[in-house]
Amino acid sequence: MAAVMRFWKLCVVFLWCAMSLPAFSRAQEEDFMRIWPENPVVPFGGFIVLNFSANCENIAVETSLSKVPAGDGPSWKAFNFTSVTHWEPQILCHADCEKGKAKFQTVVITVYRAPKRVELDPLPTMEVGEEYNVTCRVFNVAPIRNLTVTLCKGNEELHKKTFEDHNNPEASDVVVTHSITAQQDNHREEITCHAALDMRPEGPLFEKASPDKSYSQSRAVYPPEQVIVELQKSSTGQSWHYDLKCHVIRVAPLSNLTVTFFKGTERLISRKLWNYTKAERANVTVIHPIVLQPGDYGKEATCHVTLDVSPHKEPFTATSHKLELKAAETYRAVTVAASAVATLAFVLVGFVIYYLVWAHGGSK
Ligand SMILES: *[C@@H]1O[C@H](CO)[C@@H](O)[C@H](O)[C@H]1NC(C)=O
Ligand SMILES: *[C@@H]1O[C@H](CO)[C@@H](O)[C@H](O)[C@H]1NC(C)=O
Ligand SMILES: *[C@@H]1O[C@H](CO)[C@@H](O)[C@H](O)[C@H]1NC(C)=O
Ligand SMILES: *[C@@H]1O[C@H](CO)[C@@H](O)[C@H](O)[C@H]1NC(C)=O
Ligand SMILES: *[C@@H]1O[C@H](CO)[C@@H](O)[C@H](O)[C@H]1NC(C)=O
């Protein structure tokens, strides 16, 4: 059964071929018109030679483009379109065929303009965890449907945009915006923008990247994790001489940090760390030497930190815990004073007793 079926199938295919082949060759012999290359691609302002062939007479072309003949033969004519300064121009080819019938064919030239300028908008000083828009501009490029814009951070691809649905053939500027969240390594990894105009296979592939400089200023801002104030006996060892120390933990950038010491509500000193160039997150200790007085006993010291990256961000502020100012000298002074008073009182009492005893004894 299966063998018989296969035989019949073969027969049907053979018969179909036998009947349609002559029809195809007749169609071939009939009017034909060909334009070569089939998908012409040319840079804006450039030239292109097109070959129009047909088995008909009086091959002619109609177009708004300027053209010069570039050869002909019995069944073909070539033209050089010397300056293609229209976007997506059409060329109509026609010829007179058998029995007075005319044949027409149209070709559309794809006109491109390679991307010459690709730029990233400058990035602000970035704060970790915050979202920022990265904007890439590709200037004067066509056709946009063949353009791909890629945003990269280091070697990592952040965002890729294509424009297949863009129908306007004219050159224009393209803006691609992508939102990124600032991460800890943003000050090291650079952001770049790449534009690729792919005219293959008929034309070339053009690639252009944004220049190196415009994005390197991006810097991470880390508010301090902790602000600790500490009181230590001065290394000079002098009585009442102390160092107020303010430890600012894991902060960046140091250059925008201001550390202020307070004794109660009294502002002692404000230090700006402008000379610190380190961009990475770091710990920094600011030392303020002070001379305590017995009157300071029980007062509280605080350390106040401001991280000012304005105008990009509101300044960040942090205050340490309150540290009670307790000088070791305070106790010693109290003890010394107390014992002095005690000694004095003892001596006085002694004198009084002696006087009374002596006076009484003397009067007897
Ligand atoms: C144009 O096409 C015809 C037929 O395809 C060919 O014979 C001829 O050489 C071509 N002329 C040019 C200038 O390419
Ligand atoms: C340009 O883009 C269109 C649409 O995506 C595509 O069909 C065509 O092949 C591209 N042209 C070239 C020359 O690559
Ligand atoms: C922050 O630091 C940068 C670089 O050190 C400096 O240019 C900028 O003026 C500083 N901003 C403030 C508000 O201090
Ligand atoms: C910045 O200057 C202060 C004194 O003005 C100095 O103690 C400190 O070491 C300097 N720091 C750097 C990183 O130069
Ligand atoms: C900064 O201080 C914190 C807490 O004391 C510590 O864990 C960290 O290792 C320090 N980092 C640096 C870079 O010194």
pLDDT digits (tens, 9 = 90+) for 171-217: 999 999 999 887 766 456 688 999 999 999 999 999 999 986 544 44
User: What are the phi and psi torsion angles at 53 (to 5°)?
Assistant: -125, 145
Write the CATH number for 158: 2.60.40.10
**Residue where one domain finishes, among candidates 87, 112, 137:** 112
The answer to whether position 356 is within a domain reads no
Q: Are residue 133 and residue 209 in the same domain, yes or no?
A: yes
Residues 170 and 267 in one domain: no
The pLDDT assigned to 173 comes to: 98
The pLDDT of residue 24 is 46
CB atoms within 10 A of CB 182: 21
pLDDT at 27 over 70: no
199 and 240 together in one domain: no
Same domain, 107 and 8: yes
| pLDDT band (50, 70, 90) for residue 309 | confident
Where in the sequence is the domain holding 198, given as residue range(s)?
A: 117-217
Residues 89 and 121 in one domain: no
* pLDDT band at residue 17 using 50, 70 and 90 as cut-offs: very low
| CB-based contact 293:329 (threshold 8 Å) | no
Which residue has a Cα nearest atom 6 of ligand 4? 275
Which of 225, 283, 285 maximizes ligand 5 atoms within 8 Å of its Cβ, making it the mutation to test the pocket?
283
Q: Is the CB of 203 under 6 A from ligand 2?
A: yes
pLDDT at 179: 94
pLDDT at 21: 47
Minimal-distance CA residue to ligand 5 atom 6: 249
Residues with CB under 6 A from ligand 4: 275-276
Distance 270 CA to ligand 1 centre (A): 85
Pocket test for ligand 2, best of 107, 109, 145, 166 (most atoms within 8 A of CB): 145
**343 assigned to some structural domain:** no
Same domain, 105 and 198: no
Residue ending a domain, among 63, 83, 112, is: 112
Q: Domain for residue 177, yes or no?
A: yes
Residues 40 and 84 in one domain: yes
Whether the per-residue pLDDT at 153 is higher than 80: the answer is yes
In this structure, the residue with its CA closest to atom 5 of ligand 3 is 255
Q: What number is the average pLDDT over the span 347-364?
A: 72
Lowest mean pLDDT, pick from 70-74, 126-130, 324-328: 126-130
Is residue 101, in this structure, part of any structural domain at all?
A: yes
Q: Is residue 337 part of a domain?
A: no
For residue 186, what pLDDT is reported? 47
Nearest CA to ligand 1 atom 12: 51
Domain count, the chain: 3
Q: Which ligand minimizes its atom distance to the CA of 147?
A: 2
Q: Are residues 202 and 139 in the same domain?
A: yes
> Phi, psi at residue 84, to the nearest 5°?
-85, 95
- With a pLDDT cut of 70, the percent of the chain lying above it is 82
| Domain assignment of residue 95, yes or no | yes
- CA pair distance 245, 322, nearest whole angstrom: 13
The minimum-distance atom of ligand 3 relative to the CA of 310 is 13
Q: Give me the mean pLDDT over the 113-129 stretch.
A: 85
Q: Do 93 and 161 have their domain in common?
A: no
Quote the percentage of the chain above a pLDDT of 90: 57
